[in-house]
Amino acid sequence: MAQKFDGRLFEGWSEKLTRRLASGTSRRGVLSRVGLALAAAPAFPLLPIDRSRAHAATTPRLTEFQKNAQVTDDTRCNYWRYCAIDGSLCSCCGGGVHSCPPGTQPSLTSWVGTCYNPADKRSYLIAYRDCCGTSSCRQCHCDNTDGALPTYRPQANNEIIWCFGTSSMAYHCSTAALVGVAE
Amino acid sequence: MTAPWRAVKRFPIAGMLAGLLCVAACPVARAADNSVVEQRAVTFNHAQTNYMLHCGGCHGTLGLSPPHSVPLLRGQAGWLVCDPQGRAYVDGLPNVTRASLSDADLADVLNFVIFTLGASPGSAHAAPFTAREVSAMRAAPESTVPLHLRRQQAVERIIKVCGAPKSLLDYKPM
Amino acid sequence: MKRIRRVLCGLFGALLPCTALAAPPPILETEESNTAVMPKPNPHWLYVGTRTGGVTIIDGDTAKIVGTVNASPAAGFALAPQGKEYYVSETIWTRMNRGTRQDLLSVYDGHTLNLIQDIELPGRLIASGRTPYFSTSADGLRGYVYNMQPASSIITIDLAKRNVLGITEIPACGLIYPYGKTGVATLCADGALADVAIDASGHGRITDRIPFFDAQQDPVFEESPVDRAGGQALFITFNGMVHPVRLGAPSTLEKAWSLQQAAGLSPATTSPEQTTWRPGGRRPFAFHPGHKRLYALMHEGAPWGQKRSGTELWVLDTATHQLVNRFTLPTSGYAVGVSEDNAPLLFVLSEDGWLWVMDPETGKILRSLRDVGRTTLLATDRS
């Protein structure tokens, strides 16, 4: 990842900045109201993991990313959750793997991929959600492509703007929030 | 301000609780913290997993989306099946019928979206989707009426016939 | 001249006496600053969009820059036949990163590179520029902008009258592959090619669908090459299966072939264990329809390396499905292009900003240029 330290760093940033810019300022209020109104209706009950069903018994065939993935440092591109991330890591920017840095806002839209955790040998659903609203952080630029698909499959595309609906439109960095485990 | 924080403002006790939780979950991320979270990760059933992978990006992993850009599903999608015309609109959604899922899996996702995630008074008495209905949906020739016009007509009808909320009209993509 | 003077007098009359403009200048300087105009375009010109924005026009015969067209980052770019006009589709905001969003198709004069007109668009997908986000008909009379908000549609523009004609919804499909005068094809989420009929009013719909690939396991590259004039498309999968399609209404699928098999290797699969030569890069393919040559950036690796730069450039005969040549590249290639004339030049750009101008017959490096920037878009013109 030497590239993030040289002059091209700005290029990557500005590309990301603009492609993450999306309209939607006026939608925020509506969304907040809707979110509040519906906050009481959980559609995804919090279920404890059934340990007996963990998939540890068979070793799956690993992709190149999975073979090199590590579980200890979420500020590096080969951290297991970043198997298909495209952008700067919020963990390098004052945020965290699922936290937006101060002054920025998590996007409501995202795309959801599947990453394999080599420590517990299970696959997790990961939401690649961008933090928007402040000039780009520019640190730790990654572009991993496990399972990333072209634009005609937008639900798995890491080049599209996923900042629809945030109050500001500047791309800051990307998170990899853990959504859950597929049964 | 995002929705959860608005909620925190409304309910100060919840806010204090959130603050306490934050001590554990919100500091600068360390991988060690992440593994703790991973151990208590939520498990999804098939329908929920397929919802996440095929719909949850645009419509939101919690079913909450910017309603102007993406039709809101949570608490709202169920209204569409209150009336045959609304249901026909759901049956003819190209992103639904062409999803890379089996008929049975797609029926499960539709049932999750309409009757659980999008549960509303409008879905209370509707019949669940079956693999047979999905198969018929997929075999039917695609409507030549533009999709957004079809939605507008369906939504206007269910507002009139079923008393569905006017917020269904918030979606204005074109 | 007189008229100019009158206009200037009118403009500045309140500030300057008109006699000041009429009199000879009191001070002479040795050189006056002026602005160059573009030389006559030739088929060896290459158009390179980079991540910082701007489209650089490079003459492949000299490897020198002849001009730059203004463009925001994540812009799309197209050119009128013979380089008469250049088109940039882009999104800007009234307050840089906030304020009112403006989606534009900006028309630039090919001779002066001055802005002629901004055509306001009803939207567009903002993502780092890819060829099928913005393209024109083969005759250059119609422009097509792909919009995803996130509902999917095609915005059709009359480039002669410089106005938006209409919007065509393409639900569950995305990207634009125009051909001929009015033909448009798109790719769909279920692995089909769809023909889109767009009428003179810019409105239309999907008419035919041809399923031919697995969009989940082995999708086709967005930057698959299309000969717009001849209507020949080569949709190439991540594994390197070439699906030739004769675009039309309806389009027809021709026999698929494998890049690896053309080189005497086993076809690539999606098995994570299989390390073999695979296509990859930002823009991994270029096609010369007249010479029936496909150029592919190839690297050795496992599946899901679709954006990885190529260490080799493979030359393939699209008529016989045979490998003609393998060139080792001086720096890994991120984007490839070929001029479409009868004495073509091959262009390879690397991630670290090198442009290599190569002889497509021998692979010899003819010229080079450095610090071109990280390529997002690459275009050539047949004229």
Which chains have 3 or more CB–CB distances shorter than 8 Å to chain B? Answer: A, C
For residue A40, tell me if it sits in a domain: no
Taking an 8 Å cut-off on Cβ atoms, the answer to whether B98 and C172 are in contact is yes
Compute CA distances A179 → A87, A176, B112, C22, whole Å.
19, 9, 17, 75
* pLDDT the model gives residue A89: 96
pLDDT at B29: 44
- The C64-69 sheet, strands edge to edge: C64-69, C55-59, C45-50, C375-380
Q: Report, as an integer, the average pLDDT of B21-36.
A: 55
| Domain tally, chain A | 1
- In chain B the domains, ranked by start, together with CATH numbers, are 3-39 (no CATH), 46-170 (1.10.760.10)
Asked if A36's CB is within 8 angstroms of B41's CB, the reply is no
Give dist(CA A29, CA A37) in Å, integer. Answer: 12
Is there a domain that residue A87 lies in? Answer: yes
Distance from A96 to chain B by nearest Cα, in Å? 5
Least Cα distance to A170 among B131, C145, C378, C96 occurs for C96
The tokens of B160 are what?
């009139």
Asked whether residue A169 is domain-assigned, the answer is yes
Structure tokens at C68: 């730059």
Instruction: Give Cα C196 distance to the centre of its chain.
Output: 21
Residue B12: count of CB within 10 angstroms of its CB: 9
Q: Which domain holds residue C147?
A: 36-380
Q: Supply the DSSP symbol for B15.
A: H
Contact C305 A63 (CB under 8 A): no
pLDDT, mean over chain B: 84
- CA-nearest residue to A26 within chain B is B68
Asked if residue C3 is part of any domain, the answer here is no
pLDDT at B37: 87
CA distance C93 to chain A (A): 9
**Integer Cα distance of A160 and A154 in angstroms:** 7
CA atoms of C180 and C229, how far apart (whole Å)? 5
Return the pLDDT at C75: 93
Burial label for A97, CB within 10 Å (0-12, 13-18, 19+), is buried
C199 touches chain B (CB under 8 A): no
**Residue C171's domain is classified under what CATH number?**
2.130.10.10
Distance from CA of A161 to the nearest CA of C (A): 6
Tokens of B132: 């047979």
Q: Are C137 and C178 in contact (CB under 8 A)?
A: yes
Q: Which of residues 143-172 of B touch A (CB under 8 A)?
A: 167, 170
pLDDT of residue C20: 59
Q: Is B139 within 8 Å of B94 (Cβ atoms)? A: no
* B97 has pLDDT over 70: yes
Q: Which letter, b or e, does each residue of B27-61 get, where b requires 16 or more Cβ atoms within 10 Å of its Cβ? A: eebbbebbeeebeebbbbeebbbbbbbbbbbbbbb
| Spatial separation of the C-alpha atoms in residues B41 and A183, rounded to whole Å | 12
Nearest to B69 among A36, A81, A165 (CB): A165
Confidence bin at A19 (pLDDT 50/70/90): very low
Measured in angstroms, the CA of A48 and the nearest CA of chain C are apart by: 30
Residue A51, domain member (yes or no): no
Q: What angle do CA B43, B45, B50 make, to 5 degrees?
A: 110
* Separation CA C234–CA A94 (nearest Å): 45
CB neighbour class for A124 (10 Å; exposed up to 12, middle 13-18, buried from 19): buried
CA distances (Å), C242 to each of B112, C222, C315, in order?
A: 39, 13, 14
Does residue A35 surpass a pLDDT of 60? no
Is A172 within a domain? yes
d(CA C152, CA B70): 12
pLDDT at position B105, please?
Answer: 98
A13 is catalytic: no
> How, if at all, do strands C310-317 and C322-338 pair?
antiparallel
Among A70-79, B24-33, B61-70, the range scoring the smallest mean pLDDT is B24-33
Burial of B112 (0-12, 13-18, 19+ CB in 10 A): buried
Contacts of C188 in chain B (CB under 8 A): 98
Per annotation, catalytic residue among A111, A120, A143, A162: A111
Predicted complex ipTM: 0.87
Please name the residues in contact with B122: beta carbons below 8 A apart, sequence gap of 6 or more.
B78, B79, B80, B81, B82, B86, B158, B162, B164
d(CA B71, CA C176): 25
Q: pLDDT-derived band of residue B136, with 50, 70 and 90 as boundaries?
A: very high
- CB contact under 8 Å between B147 and C169, yes or no, is yes
**pLDDT score recorded for residue A168:** 65
User: A127: which 2 tokens?
Assistant: 């939401």
Q: pLDDT tens across A129-140, in order?
A: 999 888 888 899
> pLDDT at position A98, please?
94
Residue C15 covered by a domain: no
| A163 pLDDT higher than 50 | yes
pLDDT for A42 equals 52
Contact yes or no for C351/C374 (Cβ under 8 A): yes
- Residue A6 counted as domain residue: yes
Task: Measure the CA–CA gap between B57 and A129, rounded to whole angstroms.
Answer: 9
Residue A111 lies in domain: 2-34+61-181
Q: Which of C92, C304, C377 is most worth mutating to test chain A (most A CB atoms within 10 A of its CB)?
A: C304
Which bin fits A107, alpha (ψ -120 to 50), beta or left (φ > 0)? Answer: beta
Which has the closest alpha carbon to B96: B142, B27, B155, B60?
Answer: B142
Per-residue CA distances from B149 to B126, B169, C216 (Å): 24, 12, 30
CB of B112 closer than 8 Å to CB of B160: no
* Alpha-carbon span C358 to C44, nearest angstrom: 12
- The bridge status of strand C310-317 relative to strand C293-301 is antiparallel
| pLDDT above 50 (res B16) | no
Q: Residue C134 corresponds to which tokens in the numbers above?
A: 């913005």
CB A137 within 8 A of CB A101: yes
Closest chain A CA to residue C193: A152
pLDDT at B17 over 70: no
Joined together, the tokens standing for residue B43 give 């498990």
The annotated binding site of A for substrate is made up of 86, 158-160
In a domain, A22, yes or no: yes
- B117–chain A Cβ distance below 8 A for any pair: yes
The count of structural domains within chain C is 1
Which tokens in the block code for residue B48? 């929920």
User: Hey, how many other C-beta atoms are within 10 angstroms of the C-beta on A50?
Assistant: 10
Across the interface, whether the CB atoms of B64 and A179 are under 8 A apart is answered no
Q: Please name the residue that has the structure tokens 């690297």.
A: C299
Helix (H/G/I), strand (E/B), else coil: C283:
strand
Q: Which residues of chain C have pLDDT under 70?
A: 1-22, 382-383
Tell me which of A30 and C269 has the higher pLDDT. Answer: C269
Residue A145 lies in a domain: yes
Of A38, A91, A164, the CB nearest to B69: A164
For C287-340, the DSSP string reads EETTTTEEEEEEEEE-SS-TTSPEEEEEEEETTTTEEEEEEEEEEEEEEEEE--
Q: Which position has the token pair 């850009």?
A: B69
Residue A49 has pLDDT above 70, yes or no: no
Gyration radius (Cα) of chain B, Å = 19
